[in-house]
Amino acid sequence: MIFDFSRQGLSRADAFLERLFEVLPGLTSWTVLLGMLALSFAQPILAAVLIIAFDLYWLLRLFYMTLFLLLSSARLSLERGTDWMARIRALDRWAASQGAEPAIGDRCATVQQHFSGWIHRRQLVSLQRQAVDLPPSTGLRHLVMFTVASETPEVLEPGVVSLTQQSFPPKQMLIMFAVEERAGRERIAALRRLAERYRAQFLDFLVVVHPDGLPGEARVKGANATCAAREAAAYWRAHEVPFERVIVSCFDADTVVSPEYFSCLTYSFLMTPDRTQASFQPIPVYHNNIWEVPGFARVLDIGSSFFQLIEATNPEKLVTFSSHSMSFKALVDVDYWPVDLISEDSAIFWKAFLHYDGRYRVVPMYVTVSMDVAASGSWWQTVEDVYKQKRRWAWGVENFPIVMRAFLKARRIPFSAKLTHGFKLFESHVSWATSAFLVSLIGWFPAWFAGREFSSSVLYYSAPRIAGVIFRLASLALVTTIIVSLCLLPRPKRRAPYALFRRIGHAIEWLLIPFFAMGFSALPALDAQTRLMLGRYMEFWVAGKERDLRRRPLFGMRKPRMMESA
Amino acid sequence: MRLFRRIAFYAFLLLYVVLCPVTVFSTLGYVFIPGGQQQIVKTGLIYLATAPPGATVYVGNRRFTRQTPTILRELQPGTYDIRLAVKGHRPWTHRVPVEAEQATVLEHVLLLPRSLHPVQAALGPFENLLPVSDKVLLLQRGPLLRHVTVYDPRAEREWPLLAPGSPLESARLIDASRVPDSDAVVLEVVFGGSERLLWADLSGREPHIEDLSSFLVRRPLWVTWDAEDKRHVFALQDKAIHRIDLAARTSYPAFVNRAVGMGVFRHALYVLREHGVLERMDPQGHSSEVLWRNLIPGPPPAADAAFRVQLLSDDTVLLWGRRGELLANHAPYQLVERGVRGVVHAPKQHRRALVWQRDRLGVLDFSGAVEGGSVEEMPPLRWAYKQGRDIRQAFWMYDGSHGLIRDDDQVLLLDLETYGKPEQQLLFRVKRHSAIAYSEEAGVLYYLDPSSGSLMACELLPKREILPFPDRREPPRRPTLEEP
């Protein structure tokens, strides 16, 4: 369907709908929280019953998620030894042989490799059944974009170096620095020098400067990336490279990819039947500075990685997040990223989903991209940075009203798909803002503020026992999470003193997760939803007729770096 | 993975659909009775906590596996014979009712040792003791002030009230006025042929004594002060309130007029006017605010009327008159016509007080009235002990669950947290006409031994646990007192 994925320039009816759906998540979250608070005073018995029902739901959901965290992390470990390039070469040979039996490609020496090979074989058989056309990998090109707001070359260089170390030939990669004009001439010049230094190792290395304050754009990453992508489109046209043979990866400035990333991406691209209608989502990890940041920031970002690991097991409902890749053709078809939304990472998925009438999906990749944990020098500054980063993530709720408006108009998208996606989008945001408060704080209110009637009831004496059992069972999930966390985390640097103690300390940090979850997950989410509900948008909108940028503050985005960090 | 995920989802969903109602209904007290009955019944529970903890619980003749504090769950409605026993202590046996979906709460069961073992705290003989606060007592070896010593129960030390060579040595002690939680006391003495009021601050090792008589024209009907503010003393006299500023050594005579009662709480002065209007003001008499009107029924009080104003809570006030009348601002307003000898507010519990006359003691509880219970169903004052001979003192004990009474020369313990008739136990006989002191904080009773006159101390409450279970902000449904 043709749909303008924006909240600007709406008709009165659309503006009303947009506003209605903007209010809905925040209103629901506040109703849940305040309603439970009021019930705790007015109807404590009913409140306690609801809390028990919710705690039980939360426990089962926790177990459910832990189960898939284990499976997903096992799959990630399984694929660590996979020789993706060998598989790509085998696919190339299979495509060239026309009709021969597909070969696995890489060797299967270990149990993990055997298992990985088994999965690969199943996919090959499926591919064979569907008679999917396999383009040769040598004909594919990668466009790798780093969006830069004001980051220094020192921040970007590790990411560029990681590209030179790819098992996939770097000569098939076009690298691009998408730089904001407001970064300043000196910074842009420094980035050009960096590009020049590495240009010879790639197909090409371009620096595209995004002019500041273009009409119709907000100061968001999507506008910068779109500007660069348009330049890239011109480049591919000039070099006669069809867009369906180009895979674009849009990375944050601090992204460092694992050496197998582009091999795995190419493999996933080739193995996906409708590959031009798919995004490819790696597992984002925050290992670049994981041992240099305060404990709460470490636990929170590992938690985010775990969430993505769990989501990866549910590709039907997976939505792109942070650094990811997609077909360049799809990007051009949907008219690039939204230029007025902050959450461009998820918005691009919804744009494509709507454009292709629901025939667009996200393919999970069991390979990691590593980024920085948001952290500044001081502890308190890190608190502020982490809070704002989580609020920006939670600002993804801005997609909800637009998606819902589109769903109301989309006739070709199946109702079940609209229902499941719409409900998940809504429920995940409301749950994000309320669950931690309900479980850790509000759940205790009926007992804390018990009046005479409630404190004389059987429920008053039974509820703590039930809650105790639920939390003891929940601690099993926590212990599992701690073990997975310790297994997946990189070791502290060898010379770092007390490395073992740091790992033990990290395990203990997890015990504070109820407080971290309230302060740095639920609260920022509630903050973001409240802002959306009140129409206090987290962006700097450049009006079409006005270009006076100095007089309007960058709301909630005091630091440009925060805007860009994932 | 997709299939597995779907199976797992439906399995968890099914688990929730089954577990949730089962858990909720079992938490509400519903249980399934298998066997012949095959039915779901609503049950209740009994919560039991004792001091000392660790009592063995017997339900009928069957021994319960867990010790106190504990909860007896899934009890069908009815009555249960509960016995609690701790080695070396007197057993506790009661018939306890259980209602469906209700908790019967007995969280202050006090199990006294089979034989109490008082220890001699100070060698007598003493004629009397005057309780002042948890920190100090006054001990009287003779009628004069030089015979009075201050006793610190915590440090177990005793020292003279007067400094050596004090001109007040020959003053004869007649009476003493005290305020709860204050380390100061006002002593009424006869000195040089005239009656005098002495302010004695006993908080330091050297008592500070101030003669209040020089600030007052005549003997007041009553004096009081704020336990947290020892600077101002208020005296009620001739329908006027006089303020004495001890720090500035200045008096403010009749700074409030047309007053027939007063009380001081939380840095505020409460004044009862002639026409039954209760006002709150600051200690300087400013910022007056009318709280209630028409508190005194009938004609205006006599000239010598004096009411002590006591606040049971922010919205419950008691007026205790000189003739022993007791009034309240809630129905039935006039609680006792005459003869009330004492009123003690329950610590940490709103709207409850012990009230006693010469021969009976009752529990005043306005919590039901304020929550909407009618006076007919739940009269606020219920007499729990009616066989008194000469009740002189009463104390709340064990978080308001028990009463400690000095009736003539007997000290009695009254169990008020019971679903049957309140039971009393004789604890000690004390020296006739001597007072007793009780420290709730330490759980220790002080009295004078009838034979030797020495000060005796007896621990009635074992040391408290640091984290009581379950923690509650408001008391549960209280057992209904059955009048004996």
Angle (CA) B261 B265 B266, round 5°: 155
Tell me which residue in A52, A53, A455 faces B476 most closely, judged by beta carbons. Answer: A455
For a pLDDT cut of 70, what percent of chain A falls above it? 92
Dist CA A27 CA A32 (whole Å):
8
Q: Which residues, at least 6 apart from B87, have a Cβ–Cβ distance to it below 8 Å?
A: none
pLDDT at B377: 56
Cβ contacts from A onto B, under 8 A: 95
Kindly determine whether residue A458 and residue B26, on different chains, have CB atoms separated by under 8 Å: no
Cβ atoms of residues A207 and A180 within 8 Å: no
Kindly determine whether residue B476 and residue A64, on different chains, have CB atoms separated by under 8 Å: no
Kindly determine whether residue A459 and residue B101, on different chains, have CB atoms separated by under 8 Å: yes
DSSP string, A472-540: HHHHHHHHHHHHHHHHHSPPPPTTSTTHHHHHHHHHHHGGGHHHHHIIIIIHHHHHHHHHHHHT--SS-
SS3 B8: helix
B-side interface with A, Cβ within 8 Å? Answer: 1-2, 5, 8-9, 12, 15-16, 19-20, 23-24, 26-29, 43-45, 47, 71, 73, 101-103, 105, 367, 371, 470, 472-477
Q: In chain A, which residues have their Cβ closer than 8 Å to the Cβ of B365?
A: none
Dist CA B8 CA B4 (whole Å):
6
Kindly determine whether residue A460 and residue B43, on different chains, have CB atoms separated by under 8 Å: no
Report yes or no: A196 at the B interface, CB cutoff 8 Å: no
Q: 3-state SS string over A35-104? A: HHHHHHHHCHHHHHHHHHHHHHHHHHHHHHHHHHHHHHHHHHHHHHHCCHHHHHHHHHHHHHHCCCCCCC
How many structural domains compose chain A?
A: 1
Whether A168 maps to a domain, the answer reads no
pLDDT in tens, B7-19: 999 999 999 999 9
pLDDT at A494: 56
pLDDT mean across residues, chain B: 87
Under the phi-then-psi rule, with left for phi > 0, alpha for psi from -120 to 50, and beta for the rest, what region is B338?
Answer: beta
Q: Domain residue spans in chain B?
A: 2-110
- Give the number of other CB atoms < 10 A from CB of residue B291: 16
Whether A97 maps to a domain, the answer reads yes
Burial class (CB in 10 A: 0-12, 13-18, 19+), B276: buried
Which of B24, B351, B480 should we substitute to test contact with A (largest number of A Cβ atoms within 10 Å)? B24
Kindly determine whether residue A455 and residue B20, on different chains, have CB atoms separated by under 8 Å: no
Report yes or no: A423 at the B interface, CB cutoff 8 Å: no
Angle (CA) B231 B233 B239, round 5°: 150
Kindly determine whether residue A457 and residue B101, on different chains, have CB atoms separated by under 8 Å: yes
Cβ atoms of residues A1 and A407 within 8 Å: no
Q: Which domain holds residue A89?
A: 79-129
DSSP string, B261-304: EEEEETTEEEEEETTS-EEEE-TTS-S-EEEES--S-SSPPPTT
Dist CA A534 CA B93 (whole Å):
63
CA distance B390 to chain A (A): 36
pLDDT in tens, B462-471: 866 544 444 4
Q: Which residues, at least 6 apart from A546, have a Cβ–Cβ distance to it below 8 Å?
A: none
- Give the number of other CB atoms < 10 A from CB of residue B481: 19
Q: Which residue does chain B place closest to A449, by CA atoms?
A: B473
Whether A94 maps to a domain, the answer reads yes
Crossing angle between the packed helical segments A153-164 and A185-198, to the nearest 10 degrees:
20
Q: Enter the tokens of residue A43.
A: 């109807």
Kindly determine whether residue A57 and residue B26, on different chains, have CB atoms separated by under 8 Å: no
Q: Is the pLDDT of residue A557 over 50?
A: no
Percent composition of chain B: helix, strand, coil (DSSP 3-state, to 5): 10, 50, 45
Q: Enter the tokens of residue B181.
A: 């939680």
Q: In chain B, which residues have their Cβ closer than 8 Å to the Cβ of A316?
A: 2
Dist CA B403 CA A141 (whole Å):
89
pLDDT at B379: 73
E-assigned strand segments in A307-451:
324-327, 361-370
pLDDT in tens, A108-152: 678 888 888 888 888 888 888 887 888 999 999 999 999 998 888
Q: In chain A, which residues have their Cβ closer than 8 Å to the Cβ of B477?
A: 452-453, 455-456
Kindly determine whether residue A461 and residue B472, on different chains, have CB atoms separated by under 8 Å: no
On the question of a cis peptide bond just before residue B470, with omega within 30 degrees of 0, the verdict is yes
Q: In chain A, which residues have their Cβ closer than 8 Å to the Cβ of B9?
A: 64
Kindly determine whether residue A463 and residue B101, on different chains, have CB atoms separated by under 8 Å: no
**CA Rg value for chain A:** 24
| CATH fold of B2-110 | Immunoglobulin-like (2.60.40)
pLDDT in tens, B313-345: 888 899 999 889 999 888 888 889 899 999 998
Kindly determine whether residue B16 and residue A56, on different chains, have CB atoms separated by under 8 Å: yes
pLDDT higher for A565 or A35?
Answer: A35
Rounded mean pLDDT, B197-221: 87
Q: Which residue does chain A place closest to B470, by CA atoms?
A: A461
pLDDT higher for A171 or A373?
Answer: A171
Q: How far is CA A250 from CA A76, A200, A257, A322, A433, in A?
A: 22, 21, 12, 9, 28
Q: How far is CA B21 from CA A50, A343, A446, in A?
A: 11, 40, 20
pLDDT at A106: 63
pLDDT in tens, A423-443: 999 999 999 999 999 999 998
H or E stretch at B20: helix B2-28
Report yes or no: A123 at the B interface, CB cutoff 8 Å: no
Q: How far is CA B436 from CA B129, B345, B386, B441, in A?
A: 7, 18, 21, 16
pLDDT in tens, A60-110: 999 999 999 999 999 998 888 889 999 999 999 888 886 666 666 666 678
On the question of a cis peptide bond just before residue B332, with omega within 30 degrees of 0, the verdict is yes
Q: Which ipTM did the prediction report?
A: 0.83
Q: Which residue does chain B place closest to A312, by CA atoms?
A: B1
Kindly determine whether residue B28 and residue A459, on different chains, have CB atoms separated by under 8 Å: yes
Beta bridge partners of B271: B262, B279
Tell me which residue in B19, B47, B371 faces A56 most closely, judged by beta carbons. Answer: B19
Dist CA A552 CA B8 (whole Å):
51
Report yes or no: A49 at the B interface, CB cutoff 8 Å: yes
Whether A90 maps to a domain, the answer reads yes
Q: Is the pLDDT of residue A558 over 60?
A: no
Dist CA B199 CA B196 (whole Å):
10
pLDDT at B206: 82
Tell me which residue in A53, A63, A461 faces B103 most closely, judged by beta carbons. Answer: A461
> Per-residue confidence at B215, pLDDT binned at 50, 70, 90?
confident
Q: Which residue does chain A place closest to B42, by CA atoms?
A: A458
Tell me which residue in A56, A450, A466 faces B474 most closely, judged by beta carbons. Answer: A450
pTM: 0.76
Dist CA B229 CA B353 (whole Å):
24
Kindly determine whether residue B102 and residue A450, on different chains, have CB atoms separated by under 8 Å: no
Whether A89 maps to a domain, the answer reads yes
Kindly determine whether residue A462 and residue B29, on different chains, have CB atoms separated by under 8 Å: yes
Whether A35 maps to a domain, the answer reads no
Kindly determine whether residue A60 and residue B5, on different chains, have CB atoms separated by under 8 Å: no
Cβ atoms of residues B84 and B109 within 8 Å: yes
CA distance A315 to chain B (A): 8
Whether A146 maps to a domain, the answer reads no
* Strand-pair category, B44-51 with A204-210: unpaired
Report yes or no: A463 at the B interface, CB cutoff 8 Å: yes
Q: Enter the tokens of residue A119.
A: 């999965």
